Amino acid sequence: MKNKHYLVTGGAGFIGSNYVHRLLKRGEKATIYDNLSRGGAPRNLEWLKAEFGESAFDVVVGDVRDASRITEAGSSADVIAHLAGQVAVTTSVTNPRDDFESNALGTFNVLEAARLSGRNPIVIYASTNKVYGGMEDVELVEEPTRWRYKDLVNGCPETQPLDFHSPYGCSKGAGDQYARDYARMYGLPTVVFRQSCIYGPRQFGIEDQGWVAWFIIAAVMGRPITIYGDGKQARDILHVEDLLNAYDLAVEKIDTAKGQVYNLGGGPDNVMSIWAEFKPKLETLLGKPIEVARGDWRPGDQKVFYADISKAEKELGWRPAIGVDGGVNMLYEWVVENKSLF
């Protein structure tokens, strides 16, 4: 089977650079499309160049808001992995227009680029669990170290009603539904992945986004940490390698996956509360106690989210292989070995 040409929007970001690394390693052709606005992007590009050489992949410095530029970049792609966009709920609240243009309009531009190419490329869209909103209709139970769903034993299913809470939820949700509808209306083979907390190497986490990496980086580098809410907010976390396995399976099994929406998270087996359960793990790794400041709950901060991932398992044969403890340990070691990056 001939190698495919992958266009990865946001390809210099955390997930994107890991995916490009994987694609190049197995001999695929890869083009990175990125506006290089995120702090880690130049460092990730340097890493890829050091690993494979400058000529091993193409870089288009562009923004997904630029319709003509993304259309040109997408004209020869067999697969478009659309990972670019504004990523923080807090930023979306302070600058909703930028969030809308980056996520809703940006995704529309990518889908149009795919449609107009005439090549019917596979489009993977990185959506978010935030499309489900606060899930106020779902009853919660408070335990000593975490909140949990009372009745959703397997977590939140794809059939949970959508409730786009926060500008970020709205903009990502608009892209989610557009991607789904382009499969219906135009036969474009799109796959929507509603992603939970993804973590792993090359993640330059900040307080507002990428909390697993942020807490590890802050702990290792001695930076101040603030815990918002009670610290018992429960999330299912998923290592980036497991996420990328799902991307690959969707491409491989596109006849099954096209037009579908899948939850991708650690699922109920890989849930951790953001501080009550994470703190002891981190303190053990660090070998000393960690002092933190406390803050009020932030808008749109769910007490619980973990995904029911059984649809992806059933249809794609996908399951997370890296557990919470193993994944956290690996990321901790990577941060310690790469202190100079922070």
Q: Annotated catalytic sites, by residue?
A: 168
- Strand (E) positions, 88-144? 122-128, 140-142
Distance of CA 2 to the CA centre of its chain: 28
Do the Cβ atoms of 17 and 202 come closer than 8 Å? yes
Report strand pairing: 147-149 vs 260-264.
unpaired
How far, rounded to the nearest angstrom, does the alpha carbon of residue 229 sit from its chain's CA centroid? Answer: 23
Taking residue 75's Cβ as centre, other Cβ atoms within 10 Å add up to 15
Task: List the beta strands (DSSP E) in the chain.
Answer: 5-9, 29-34, 58-61, 79-82, 122-128, 140-142, 147-149, 190-195, 197-199, 226-228, 234-239, 260-264, 271-273, 293-295, 304-305
The set of residues, in sequence order, having a beta carbon less than 8 Å from that of 94 and lying 6+ positions away, is none
Q: How far apart are CA 166 and CA 169, in angstroms?
A: 5
Task: Quote the tokens at residue 110.
Answer: 């990518």
CA 106, 108, 111, 112 torsion: positive or negative?
A: negative
- Supply 120's token pair: 């019917």
59, containing H or E segment: strand 58-61
d(CA 207, CA 295): 13
Residues forming beta bridges with residue 81, ordered by sequence position? 8, 124
